[in-house]
Amino acid sequence: MDFVHPVQAVIPGAQGRVLAVLAETTAELNLSTLARLADVSVAQASRVVPGLVELGLVERREVRPSSLFRLARENVAAQAVINLARSRDTALSRIGAAADSLPLSPVSIIVFGSFARSEADEQSDVDAIVVRPDDVPEDDDAWASAVECWRNEARAITGNRVEVLEVSYAEVRTRLASDMALWRDVIRDGIAVHGLAIDELLGPVNG
């Protein structure tokens, strides 16, 4: 899934670009402003907007000498567009919730990299650190099965490949305190979707 431009990925062309802009604001926009923000020509916007108004997705209000447009947020189809625009946040929430039902719960799952930075397109991996409890051996079959189950569900939710870096609780505390580039990136951009937050993982080291 292209999480940078999710609306345009599903609704291609000028129509998707226009809807993406309208989904991100509650303000009324005139046609020229809407076209500029959507990176389409005024002619393209003038062709697609009347159809969206006719469908009920977009509201039009006449304010002479121009018309103002905004997404009709109560419309069921408009709600689908809004949800699509928010798909990254929804995906983060759902992949975190997917870990809640695992038979062996990770101490933490941290998403980092392009997905955490809101830069992930359809070619991007979802990079995740899965923190193993210290009382679970590294070669524990049940644990390996749980991690693989989560990876598969996260792949199904996002549509993107999921790359897992697994570390123990004791290990992650040390690594987060290191000066390695990867772990600096984790601290800067990482999002804990399950379990302990990054500052909680750092606490025992800094405290």
- Residue 160, domain CATH: 3.30.460
Q: Is the pLDDT of residue 86 over 70?
A: yes
Structure tokens at 2: 């292209």
What average pLDDT does range 149-167 have in this prediction?
96
Q: 78 and 120 share a domain? A: no
CB-based contacts of 148: which residues, under 8 Å, 6+ apart? none
Q: 97 and 167 share a domain? A: yes
**Residue 206 pLDDT level (bands cut at 50, 70, 90):** very low
Q: 70 and 92 share a domain? A: no
Handedness of CA 83, 27, 50, 76 (dihedral sign): positive
Mean pLDDT of the chain: 93
pLDDT value for 35:
97
CB-count exposure of residue 73 (10 Å: 0-12, 13-18, 19+):
middle
How does pLDDT run across 97-126, given as a tens digit for each residue? Answer: 999 988 899 999 999 999 999 999 999 999
Q: Is the pLDDT of residue 64 over 90?
A: no
Q: 191 and 173 share a domain? A: yes
Domains: count for the chain: 2
Q: Is 104 inside a domain boundary?
A: yes
Q: 28 and 66 share a domain? A: yes
Q: 174 and 109 share a domain? A: yes
Q: Global pTM?
A: 0.84
Domain holding 120, by residue range, is: 87-206
**Residue 203 pLDDT level (bands cut at 50, 70, 90):** confident
pLDDT value for 202:
87
Distance CA 23, CA 39 (A): 15
**Residue 207 pLDDT level (bands cut at 50, 70, 90):** very low
